[in-house]
Structure 1
């Protein structure tokens, strides 16, 4: 799994499409993992998924863990598969006043740490330029 992060509207998806060659499927906004028939699976808008799974649910993130596990399992099932996860970095800047938005920001930070730990490669993309972090 590769993890790509960076600021909002900084060209993360465009960078991925320019640098990962082959047929791909893009999942966004909590789309279900249907049978994917391409070797590359790109999951975008992770921060929105985290909001839905952690803030809008009362299961303490269990659904997120199941979703994440299913994505990782998809990649492990076949060595020719590549999972690319893209999430906007919302952890900097002014701390939100609303409690649910503070919780969301915290959860995004914790989950991005886990993704970084689990990833083979981590890139930060700013204005279309990448920096490899791992």
Structure 2
């Protein structure tokens, strides 16, 4: 599993598209559901790219309103992705948005969403074989 992280418009998508030009994508920005990842992944022969995790997290947060429930939901998805990836021996790439750069929102719900996104990102980074951080169109391998 590979993770590409960075701020908005930092070059994450460009980096991934250059490295995996023929890979299928599941994007929250295109109103696609993360729950379709397995079907899309299993039907292709290229790495699966997922992006828009903060949007999927927001959708679950809006439904549940429970920090632990949402966090556990996404950790279970990442764990399952890792298991399936190991079975298929075919990589997956997660593109995640780094939110806030330490700025704490005043609004309670915005703060919870940002915290959840950060926790999910940390879980993904811990499980990923490689982590790339993008900023200003540049990429640095962190792991």
TM bucket (normalised to shorter chain) is: 0.7 to 0.9
Match of 1:69 in 2: 79
Match of 2:63 in 1: 56
Measure, in 2, the Cα distance between the counterparts of 1:38 and 1:52.
29
Match of 1:7 in 2: 7
Count of paired positions: 132
Runs of 5+ consecutive residues of structure 1 not aligned to the other structure? none
Bigger shift: residues 7-16 or 32-41: 32-41
Write the deviation string for residues 32-63 of structure 1: whole angstroms up to 9, x where unpaired: 22243132100001111222223432561243
Match of 1:17 in 2: 17
Match of 1:41 in 2: 48
Runs of 5+ consecutive residues of structure 2 not aligned to the other structure? none
Structure with greater proportional helix content:
2
Q: Is the 8 A contact 1:5 1:87 kept in 2?
A: yes
Across the aligned residues of Structure 1 and Structure 2, the Cα RMSD in angstroms comes to 1.9
1:86 aligns with 2:95: yes
Give the TM-score of the pair, scaled to structure 2. 0.81
Q: Is the 8 A contact 2:75 2:120 kept in 1?
A: no
Which 4+ runs in 1 deviate beyond 4 A? none
Give the TM-score of the pair, scaled to structure 1. 0.86
